[in-house]
């Protein structure tokens, strides 16, 4: 089987990264984790990846004094050195310029903690609560130059409870993220984007997850 060499970009704790690394352990999963890259040297996820024997690298954006293309040139050099085929952004908190995005068009995906196109950008859970949303969720999409705008691969929805805070909602959505991302990455890598499948997952009867991915 021709497995793609996957780079996962993180900035923090890396729980989505872990869900992808777990998925990659299956013999028939179409990706091999070849690099975990963080723009924050202190990102907890780097330790988790290193403990699993995955090559890691920190490229600290702060040392580039706002020169985004030079920062991205350094990233691109690492991607080439590790012969990367595909990138999964997993909590990577830097917006990339068209310089890098165009080089990876169709080969870079992201997970965003809202039901796009609602609530692109930051503070998604607080914004969903303030807006009175009854459903929240997450989206896996291809990365294009517009922030959180690329074609949608799959989504998962969870209920918003009356007493939710941004934190309680975030942890419910995060559970859904961990289910959704490996499924959508697999579909993207296999090029199986046409078959829609919606599945109700009753992990918690009060807060079921509705998973919709190819």
Applying CB under 6 A, the residues found at the interface with ligand GRF are 10, 12-17, 90-91, 111-113, 138, 174, 177
* Least distance CB 111 / ligand GRF (angstroms): 5
DSSP for 94-122 reads -PPPHHHHHHTTTSEEEEESS-TTSS-SS
Identity of the residue, 10 or 31, whose beta carbon is nearer to ligand GRF in the bound complex: 10
d(CA 145, CA 95): 9
- Is residue 141 flagged as an active site residue? no
- Tokens 């706002």 belong to which residue? 66
Identity of the residue, 92 or 205, whose beta carbon is nearer to ligand GRF in the bound complex: 92
* Least distance CB 124 / ligand GRF (angstroms): 8
* Least distance CB 151 / ligand GRF (angstroms): 17
**DSSP assigned state of 135:** E
Identity of the residue, 86 or 181, whose beta carbon is nearer to ligand GRF in the bound complex: 181
Report whether 18 contacts 48 (CB < 8 A): yes
The three-class DSSP label of residue 46 is helix
* Position with the least CB separation from ligand GRF: 91
Options 61, 112, 125, 141, the catalytic residue: 112
DSSP for 2-34 reads --EEEEEEESS--HHHHHHHHHHTSTT-SEEEE
* Least distance CB 139 / ligand GRF (angstroms): 9
As annotated, the active-site residues are: 112
């Amino acid at each position: 089987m021709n497995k793609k060499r996957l780079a996962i970009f993180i900035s923090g704790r890396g729980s989505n990264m872990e869900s992808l690394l777990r998925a990659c352990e299956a013999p028939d999963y179409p990706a091999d984790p070849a690099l975990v890259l963080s723009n924050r040297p202190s990102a907890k996820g780097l330790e988790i990846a290193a403990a699993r024997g995955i090559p890691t690298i920190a490229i600290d954006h702060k040392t580039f004094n706002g020169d985004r293309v030079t920062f991205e040139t350094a990233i691109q050099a690492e991607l080439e050195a590790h012969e990367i085929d595909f990138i999964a952004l997993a909590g990577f908190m830097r917006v990339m310029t068209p310089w890098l995005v165009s080089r990876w068009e169709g080969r870079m995906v992201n997970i965003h903690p809202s039901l796009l196109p609602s609530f692109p950008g930051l503070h998604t859970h607080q914004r969903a609560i303030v807006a009175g949303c009854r459903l929240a969720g997450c989206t896996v999409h291809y990365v294009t130059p517009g922030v959180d705008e690329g074609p949608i691969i799959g989504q998962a929805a969870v209920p918003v409870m009356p007493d939710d805070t941004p934190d309680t909602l975030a942890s419910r959505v995060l559970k859904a993220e961990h289910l959704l991302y490996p499924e959508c990455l697999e579909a993207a890598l296999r090029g199986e984007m046409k078959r829609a499948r919606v599945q109700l997952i009753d992990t918690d009867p009060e807060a079921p997850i509705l998973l919709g991915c190819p």
